[in-house]
Amino acid sequence: QVQLAESGGGLVQPGGSLRLSCVGSGATFSRYAVGWFRQAPGKEREFVAASRRGDVTYADSVKGRFTISRENAKSTVYLQMNGLKPEDTAVYYCAADASIIFGLLHRSTEYDYWGQGTQVTVSS
């Protein structure tokens, strides 16, 4: 069983930056694949970025602007978001699973554990 807690969301102007954190419980968290997803009002949940061991992958819409990283000693995964746009506005969720094959990291249905989400609003 893994419990996840996101933080770091807020209101930021277009072009600004935020860093989201996802803290996981459990001593084996470093072995879990961790993904970031987001859901805007009236839209489906969509993949943002994921990390599995030394591999990372990003949605095309955030490549070059967002960076996912891990600090295993703190059981924490970060999502650094730069160059934010109004269309990045959404609730951001982190998710974790111990058994995802790398190629399936973008599928929300592959993850067993989810955080409660943190709101990111990009607006002037």
For residue range 45-79, list pLDDT tens digits in order. Answer: 999 999 998 789 999 999 999 999 999 889 999 99
Q: pLDDT value at position 27?
A: 64
Instruction: Name the band, by pLDDT with cuts 50, 70 and 90, for residue 26.
Output: confident
In the numeric block, the tokens 């929300």 are attached to: 108
d(CA 111, CA 37): 11
Under a CB-based contact definition with an 8 Å cutoff, are residues 107 and 81 in contact?
A: no
Under a CB-based contact definition with an 8 Å cutoff, are residues 36 and 94 in contact?
A: yes
Q: pLDDT value at position 113?
A: 94
Instruction: Name the band, by pLDDT with cuts 50, 70 and 90, for residue 35.
Output: very high
